[in-house]
C-alpha cells in the first residue's frame, strides 16, 4: 500500500513553495471543475483528488505530518500492517505513527481515522469495500414475527396449523418500482447516482450517504398513487406450517422468505408458540404428570386403568395397596425434546376417590373391615 503522492497529483516538485503549489492547484481546479464537465465522473474524481492534495500541502501542520509519513515509507515502513489500530507495523525506527495520526485527526482511534487513513493512501485498507463509493445495494425486507396459540395436545404430538401473516408485499400497480405506471426512477441529481456525497471537513474530504436518495442512487419524481412510492402494499398471507413434536411454550421457529417484501428479497418469518393449558396433564421438563383417579377397591385390591394421551392411549397397572400420591412411571411416554430427540416419561400420580355417601349395608361392611384391621374411626 503506497502513500498518495500529492506533489505528483498537483504536478509540482517536492521542493515547490506555497505560491507554486497554489498556482498549480488553481490551474488544475479550473481545468477539472465539475461545472466545466457536467456528468463526467472521471473529471469529478480528478477534481476531488486535486482538492485533497491542496488541502494537505497548503496547511503547514498537515504538510509536515505528511512529510513524516513519506519519510517512513522511504525508510521501508509497510503501512499495510498499520491498518487502523495504530500499530507501527514493521518499522524499526522510533517514530510513533499513532501519535502522528492522533495529532492530525484528533486521536488515532477516533471515528474519522478510518476515512482519513483511506484518503492518504492508494488502495487503503478498507474493510470489505472498494475505493470508490457506490449506491447502496437493495436491502432485504424486514423480518416479521407472529405469535400463535396452540392446544396442549398439538404441542405434544406435533402436526400442522394455518398462520395468518400480515406483511408488506410488492405493489401490484407499480410492480415494486415505486414509480407511477409509465414512469421510472431517475438518477439522483444530488449524488449523480453514486449514493454518497463528498464534502470537506477540517481540510479533508468526507463521504456519507446521500440524504436525498438515502444511498440508493436514484429518486422517484412521480410516485405510484397506490403505494406512495414505497413499492409495497399491505396484505395477509395464510401459511401452513409444521409444528415439531414436543414443542414448548415460547418456542420460536424461523420460516425463511415469508417476511416483508423489498427489492433485495423478502425477510424471514418468525413464529412464537404459546401452548394452552391442559386440564389433564402438566409438563415438567420432558415428563408428563397425570392425576390418575382410582376408586377405593382399585387402590386396595390392585387394578388396571387406561390413560388417554395426546398421541394415543396407554394402560397402567395399579398395585394392590396403592396409597394416595403414589407415583407410577411409564418410560418413554412423556414429551419429546425437540433439541435432543429424546422422550420423557409419563408419571401417573394416584388419587384415591373416597365415596361421600354410604348405604347402611356399605357402612356396616366398612365398620367390619375397620374392626378386623383394628383401625380407629
CATH at 330: 2.60.260.20
Question: Is 117 in the same domain as 152?
Answer: no
Q: Considering the domain boundaries, does residue 214 fall inside one?
A: no
Q: Is the pLDDT of residue 274 over 70?
A: yes
What is the chain's mean pLDDT, rounded?
A: 83
Q: Considering the domain boundaries, does residue 17 fall inside one?
A: yes
pLDDT single digits (tens) 46-83: 888 888 888 889 888 888 888 888 887 776 655 555 54
Question: Is 95 in the same domain as 169?
Answer: no
Give the three-state DSSP class for 118. helix
* Beta bridge pairs of residue 218: 187
Q: Considering the domain boundaries, does residue 197 fall inside one?
A: no
Question: Is 114 in the same domain as 237?
Answer: no
Mean pLDDT of 144-157: 96
E strand intervals along the chain: 2-3, 121-122, 144-150, 159-170, 186-187, 196-201, 204-209, 218-219, 232-243, 252-255, 269-275, 281-284, 287-295, 303-309, 312-318, 327-330, 346-353
Instruction: Provide the percentage of residues in the chain whose pLDDT is more than 90.
Output: 49
Mean pLDDT of 207-222: 85
pLDDT band with cut points at 50, 70 and 90 for residue 129 = very low
pLDDT single digits (tens) 291-345: 999 999 999 999 999 999 998 899 999 999 999 999 999 999 999 999 999 999 9
Give the three-state DSSP class for 343. strand
Q: Is the pLDDT of residue 123 over 70?
A: no
Q: Considering the domain boundaries, does residue 169 fall inside one?
A: yes
Mean pLDDT of 147-163: 96
Q: Considering the domain boundaries, does residue 193 fall inside one?
A: no
Q: How many CB atoms lie within 10 A of CB 166?
A: 11
97 closest CA partner among 60, 61, 68: 68
Task: Please give the pLDDT value at position 124.
Answer: 46
Question: Is 267 in the same domain as 362?
Answer: no
Question: Is 170 in the same domain as 265?
Answer: yes
Q: Is the pLDDT of residue 105 over 50?
A: no
Question: Is 20 in the same domain as 116?
Answer: yes
Q: How many CB atoms lie within 10 A of CB 50?
A: 23
Task: Please give the pLDDT value at position 91.
Answer: 45
Mean pLDDT of 106-119: 42
Q: Considering the domain boundaries, does residue 298 fall inside one?
A: yes
Q: Considering the domain boundaries, does residue 138 fall inside one?
A: no
Rounded-to-integer distance, Cα 83 and Cα 103, Å: 17
Residue matched to cell numbers 407472529: 146
Rounded-to-integer distance, Cα 197 and Cα 357, Å: 90
Specify the number of domains making up the chain. 3
Q: Is the pLDDT of residue 31 over 50?
A: yes
Helices marked H in the chain — which ranges? 6-10, 18-32, 41-57, 60-74, 97-105, 113-120, 152-157, 296-301, 360-372
Question: Is 69 in the same domain as 117?
Answer: yes
Question: Is 264 in the same domain as 333?
Answer: no
Q: Which three cell numbers mark 65?
A: 505530518
Question: Is 21 in the same domain as 39?
Answer: yes
Task: Name the domain boundary from 259, 275, 291.
Answer: 275
Q: Is the pLDDT of residue 282 over 80?
A: yes
* Beta bridge pairs of residue 353: 295
Q: Considering the domain boundaries, does residue 245 fall inside one?
A: yes
Question: Is 150 in the same domain as 257?
Answer: yes
Task: Please give the pLDDT value at position 60.
Answer: 86
Q: Which three cell numbers mark 219?
A: 429518486
Task: Please give the pLDDT value at position 126.
Answer: 40
Task: Please give the pLDDT value at position 286.
Answer: 96
Residue pair 173/224 in contact (Cβ under 8 Å)? The answer is: yes
The residue range of the domain holding 335 is 281-372
Q: Is the pLDDT of residue 222 over 70?
A: yes
pLDDT band with cut points at 50, 70 and 90 for residue 106 = very low
Task: Please give the pLDDT value at position 120.
Answer: 55
338 closest CA partner among 162, 146, 157: 157
Rounded-to-integer distance, Cα 269 and Cα 260, Å: 8
pTM over cut 0.85 = no
Question: Is 289 in the same domain as 347?
Answer: yes
Rounded-to-integer distance, Cα 288 and Cα 279, Å: 12
Question: Is 13 in the same domain as 115?
Answer: yes
Amino acid at each position: 500500500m503506497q502513500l498518495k503522492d500529492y506533489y505528483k497529483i498537483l504536478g509540482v516538485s517536492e521542493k515547490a513553495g506555497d505560491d507554486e503549489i497554489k498556482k498549480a492547484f488553481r490551474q488544475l481546479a479550473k481545468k477539472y471543475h465539475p461545472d466545466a464537465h457536467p456528468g463526467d465522473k472521471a473529471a469529478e474524481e480528478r477534481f476531488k483528488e486535486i482538492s485533497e492534495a491542496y488541502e494537505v500541502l497548503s496547511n503547514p501542520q498537515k504538510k509536515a505530518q505528511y512529510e513524516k509519513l513519506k519519510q517512513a515509507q522511504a525508510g521501508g515502513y509497510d503501512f499495510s500492517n498499520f491498518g487502523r489500530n495504530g500499530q507501527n507495523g514493521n518499522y524499526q525506527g522510533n517514530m510513533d505513527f499513532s501519535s502522528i495520526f492522533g495529532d492530525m485527526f484528533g486521536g488515532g482511534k477516533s471515528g474519522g481515522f478510518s476515512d482519513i487513513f483511506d484518503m492518504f493512501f492508494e488502495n487503503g485498507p478498507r474493510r470489505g469495500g472498494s475505493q470508490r463509493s457506490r449506491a447502496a445495494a437493495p436491502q432485504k425486507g424486514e423480518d416479521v414475527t407472529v405469535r400463535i396459540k396452540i392446544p396442549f395436545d398439538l404441542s405434544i404430538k406435533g402436526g400442522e396449523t394455518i398462520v395468518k401473516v400480515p406483511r408488506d408485499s410488492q405493489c401490484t400497480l407499480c410492480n415494486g418500482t415505486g414509480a407511477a405506471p409509465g414512469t421510472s426512477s431517475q438518477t439522483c441529481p444530488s449524488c449523480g447516482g453514486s449514493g454518497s456525497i463528498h464534502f470537506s471537513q477540517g481540510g479533508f474530504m468526507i463521504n456519507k450517504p446521500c440524504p436525498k436518495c438515502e444511498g440508493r442512487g436514484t429518486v422517484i419524481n412521480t410516485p405510484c398513487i397506490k403505494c406512495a412510492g414505497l413499492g409495497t402494499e399491505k396484505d395477509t398471507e395464510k401459511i401452513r406450517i409444521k409444528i415439531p413434536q414436543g414443542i414448548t411454550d415460547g418456542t420460536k421457529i424461523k420460516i425463511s422468505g415469508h417476511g416483508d417484501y423489498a427489492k433485495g428479497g423478502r425477510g424471514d418469518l418468525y413464529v412464537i408458540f404459546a401452548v394452552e393449558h391442559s386440564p389433564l396433564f402438566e409438563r415438567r421438563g420432558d415428563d408428563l404428570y397425570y392425576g390418575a383417579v382410582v376408586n377405593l377397591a382399585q387402590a386396595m385390591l390392585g387394578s388396571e386403568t387406561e390413560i388417554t394421551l395426546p398421541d394415543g392411549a396407554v394402560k397402567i397397572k395399579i398395585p394392590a395397596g396403592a396409597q394416595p400420591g403414589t407415583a407410577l412411571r411409564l418410560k418413554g411416554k412423556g414429551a419429546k425434546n425437540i433439541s435432543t430427540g429424546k422422550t420423557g416419561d409419563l408419571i401417573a400420580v394416584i388419587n384415591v376417590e373416597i365415596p361421600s355417601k354410604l348405604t347402611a349395608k356399605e357402612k356396616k361392611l366398612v365398620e367390619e373391615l375397620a374392626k378386623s384391621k383394628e383401625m380407629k374411626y
